[in-house]
Amino acid sequence: MDSLFDFIQDSEIRRNLVVTVWVIVFVILARHFSARILKSGHINLKDARRKWMISINNIFTLLLVIGLIGIWASELQSFVLSIVAIAAAIVIATKELLLSFVGGFYKSVVKPFRVGDRIEIGEIRGEVIGNNFLSVDLLEVGPGKHSLLYTGRVVSVPNALVLSLPVVAESRVAAYRLHSFVVHQPQGISVSKIQQLLLKAAADACAPYLDQAKKFIEESQKHEGLDVPTVEPKVLIHFSAKDEVEFVVRVPVPSLKAGKIEQEVIQKFVDQQEFDRV
């Protein structure tokens, strides 16, 4: 009540209230006398008289609305600005929540991954064990970018990150896929020899299933209308700025055994290096 009393005590508010009362009284009286004049006139048709009455009501209602807006324009402007400020504050405060809801809708429509897939969202990698409308639960894989071991931690990723970061999914539905990893060696070594050792290690590791993998990947690529890549193991060479040589190894692997095959290739390569030194 005190705030309402203070509101009325404002001189400009009092003036607007008085003017508003006079405008309402004027419109009511004008409408009343117009209706009386219309009824006492020479328009005898009932339908025509009704149309004129409706027009008069509409005209005076419009005049009343325009008058009230003109009287309270400054107060309405302040009120609208306050509403906009409150709405903006609410949007900013709930931005992440809104983005998570939008991300949940995006996942339900696009279905970029499913429970059981191994995915990477930004720097976060893991196996999807939960997928709801606000977040994705991952059984973390790591540590680091290149490790394929489970850390035992469960990471809950908000759906907002699904919208803002690239999502890489390794579908477990596919039986085979291509897998790449990097082996670093110091400069000064025999590059061609290391390349041959890595290529031999990759070929030995892939030999038991290479034919099945080649057939599966080629059929999958043709079904998608894509160019069929070379499925056989490959080793590419890159010279980095850290006085190292990077050997990029690409091998076909069973989708569930990428980490195991990678370790097998590296182990065969290390054993062959040690054998050559003996």
Q: Are residues 210 and 262 in the same domain?
A: yes
Mean pLDDT value across residues 127-151: 80
Q: Are residues 140 and 229 in the same domain?
A: no
CA 202/CA 236 separation, integer angstroms? 13
Q: Are residues 192 and 257 in the same domain?
A: yes
| pLDDT one-digit tens code per residue, 208-238 | 888 888 888 777 777 666 665 678 899 998 8
| Contacts of residue 175, Cβ cutoff 8 Å, sequence gap at least 6 | 212, 216, 254, 255
Q: Are residues 147 and 185 in the same domain?
A: no
Q: Which among 134, 149, 170 is the end of a domain?
A: 170
Query: What is residue 257's DSSP assignment?
Result: -
CATH number at residue 205: 3.30.70.100
> Range of 248's domain?
176-277
Q: Are residues 192 and 255 in the same domain?
A: yes
| pLDDT one-digit tens code per residue, 32-86 | 777 777 666 555 555 566 677 777 777 878 877 887 777 777 777 777 777 887 8
CATH number at residue 108: 2.30.30.60
Residue 262 contacts residue 181 (beta carbons within 8 Å): yes
Residue 252 contacts residue 196 (beta carbons within 8 Å): no
Q: Count structural domains, the chain.
A: 3
Q: Which among 170, 185, 205 is the end of a domain?
A: 170
Q: Which among 170, 196, 221 is the end of a domain?
A: 170
